Amino acid sequence: MSISEKDKNFIWHPYTQMKDALPNIVIERGEGAYLFDDNGNRYIDAISSWWVNLHGHGHPYLRDAINKQFKNIEHVIFAGFTHAAAVNLGEKLLAHLPKNQSKIFYSDDGSTAVEVALKMALQYWHNKGERKTKLVALEGAYHGDTFGAMSASARSAFTAPFQSFLFEVEFVDFPSAESKTLAQLENLFANNDVAAFIFEPLLQGTAGMKMYSPELLEKMLSLCKEYNVISIADEVFTGFYRTGKFFACDYQNEQPDIFCLSKGLTGGTMPLGVTSCSENIYEAFLSDSSDKVRTFFHGHSYTANPLACAVSIASAELLEKEETQKTILRISQRHITFANEIRGNKRLKNVRCLGTIIAMEFEGEDGYFSKMRNELYQFFISKGILIRPLGNVIYLVPPYCISDEDLDYIYNAIVEFLER
């Protein structure tokens, strides 16, 4: 049996209606911005494989970091034990995070990073003996697929089967009308029962690459400070220069209390989640050992996996290089130039850019289940380009190693689609 046939027989894929799914493309290897299938076809990975890959596939520096770490220790329990990779990564992340961040808590992926953040915020108020139990999120939010993360995400077809099991979260309008969102937030905060406000800073990815301004984020964070509400920045997607700065929150002065990181954290090589918090939050969990209830009883078997931590350090080192900074700027500028070229095309509702991300929304049926989705996907696959439309929205989130030639090739394919 071929891999493709075995795949059909044995495997259940995520976010896939298995009944009429097209056969999955079998990827044999990756190199830089390219993926190669078992028929020798090449695809430009224009979405960094679910927004994770930063430096291209098979990067030798990352491979060496994993190999080197494996020679020492590949995994060890992270309670009662620690290791250099986790500690050094923590130190490195804190050097890049805003000054108010003080401690690093490890988990497995984006959803668990969010899950940890929500539990941290709720237990913070519990430990303080204050009844603040409400959570507030932005309409359209996506924070992951575990129950807490789903609860904090927009109610949608993704969450419908679990509706009665999700805890209550108040949603404020997506910030398209700034004053409305701020007024709604202030109204909720004024009741003095809100534990935390969770948001994707500047960009809601899964909602369709929807963007809002740093000025508004600054105002939302100021409200959190004013009303003593814990602010949680879900930077799972936006972190690690996706938006042009190390973190999306680097665009404003006011800083959140908690950060959630994953995806690009390991350069797209291994699963790892991080939730960082301020000293103030951390201290609310401290108590004498006789009083165990303040402890944060949360952990995973693979918490702070040494291979994942070691490769994250290597990925951060690559990010710190001047040439990476230059290429991030290059991609960002090229996106803006291309956006200006196609803006106003009658088939497009709008085109938006933020750092290394460009998104365009097509006229026609809106939303994740738009019929355009498959047509768009197939067109670009036939051109050897991997994109994964969000309904009628296509976007590019390329690895930072992508060449100008490959960007031109993708831009030309988009123009060809527009002119069809």
Ligand X SMILES: Cc1ncc(COP(=O)(O)O)c(C=O)c1O
Enzyme catalytic residues: 15, 142, 234, 263
Of 124, 115, 295, nearest to 195 by C-alpha is 124
Among 97, 107, 109, 380, contact with ligand X (rule: CB under 6 A): 109
Query: What's the closest the beta carbon of residue 241 comes to ligand X, in angstroms?
Result: 16
Binding of residue 389 to ligand X (CB under 6 A): no
Among 53, 101, 262, 315, contact with ligand X (rule: CB under 6 A): 262
Nearer to ligand X, 53 or 111 (CB): 111
> Which positions from 144 through 203 interact with ligand X, judged by CB under 6 A?
144, 200
CB 123 within 8 A of CB 296: yes
Amino acid, res. 200? E
Binding of residue 206 to ligand X (CB under 6 A): yes
> Which positions from 120 through 149 interact with ligand X, judged by CB under 6 A?
142-144
The gap from C-alpha 19 to its chain's centroid, in whole angstroms, comes to: 29
The order of strands in the sheet holding 348-354 is: 348-354, 357-362, 393-396
Q: Which residue is nearest to ligand X (CB)?
A: 110
Among 33, 65, 86, 114, contact with ligand X (rule: CB under 6 A): 114
Pairing of strands 42-45, 385-386: parallel
Structural tokens at position 121: 């915020």
Nearer to ligand X, 132 or 210 (CB): 210
Binding of residue 115 to ligand X (CB under 6 A): no
Structural tokens at position 392: 């009628």
Nearer to ligand X, 30 or 205 (CB): 205
Binding of residue 205 to ligand X (CB under 6 A): yes
Residue with tokens 């994740």: 368
Nearer to ligand X, 182 or 357 (CB): 357
Query: What's the closest the beta carbon of residue 418 comes to ligand X, in angstroms?
Result: 27
Interface region with ligand X, contact rule CB under 6 A, candidates 132-140, 169-177, 224-232, 234-242: 234-242
DSSP letters spanning 194-238? EEEEEE-SSEETTTTSEE--HHHHHHHHHHHHHTT-EEEEE-TTT
Structural tokens at position 397: 């989130």
Nearer to ligand X, 127 or 204 (CB): 204
Cα distances (angstroms) measured from residue 290 to each of 146, 286, 294, 307, 346: 32, 11, 10, 35, 68
Residues binding ligand X (CB under 6 A): 109-111, 114, 142-144, 200, 205-206, 234, 236-237, 262
